[in-house]
Structure 1
Amino acid sequence: MQESYTPTSARKNLYQLLKQVAEEHRPITIQQKDAALDTVIVPKDDWDAIQETLYLYQTGTLAKVAERENDQSGTTNIDDIDWDNL
């Protein structure tokens, strides 16, 4: 379950919260009165992984991987892969 804090309580414990997020790889939410202003704090490594996954999805690479994983016709010859156009 994701923990939530008000801006005031987060500010009081900011260093500890940042350390907790980094060590436990669990995001925390800073909730504000206007939900449109809520913010999530995640570790940098997790953020980078999310960004990479989004990039692979947007470029269609994840779909190609899933297609190959579900291919029942046999194995893919590595020499037949167009690595420049994945």
Structure 2
Amino acid sequence: MIEKIDYFTSELKDYDIREELKTSPVEAFIYCGRHDVQCPHVFSAEAARLMPKGTLTTFEHSNHSPDIEEEEKFKKFIRSTI
């Protein structure tokens, strides 16, 4: 698994859209597991903070699959966004 992460990190090392996020008109419902190793929580939190209409829902007991790891909380999250 770490090889996969290393590949994407090296391929996308110069891919930085943080400035663009600051002016995004998109209403973004960002969610992340607190223990996500593929897309660490700190990056989801930063994206939500930068986006004017961004919100973050954190799944405290999840890694990368809160839809499986915290199924009931995830269902509530989905219902609240539609």
Quick check: TM above 0.5? no
Using structure 2 for the length normalisation, give the TM-score. 0.29
Using structure 1 for the length normalisation, give the TM-score. 0.28
The structure whose Rg is larger is 1
Q: Which has the higher strand share?
A: 2
Q: Which has the higher helix share?
A: 1
Higher RCO structure (Cα 8 Å, ≥6 apart): 2
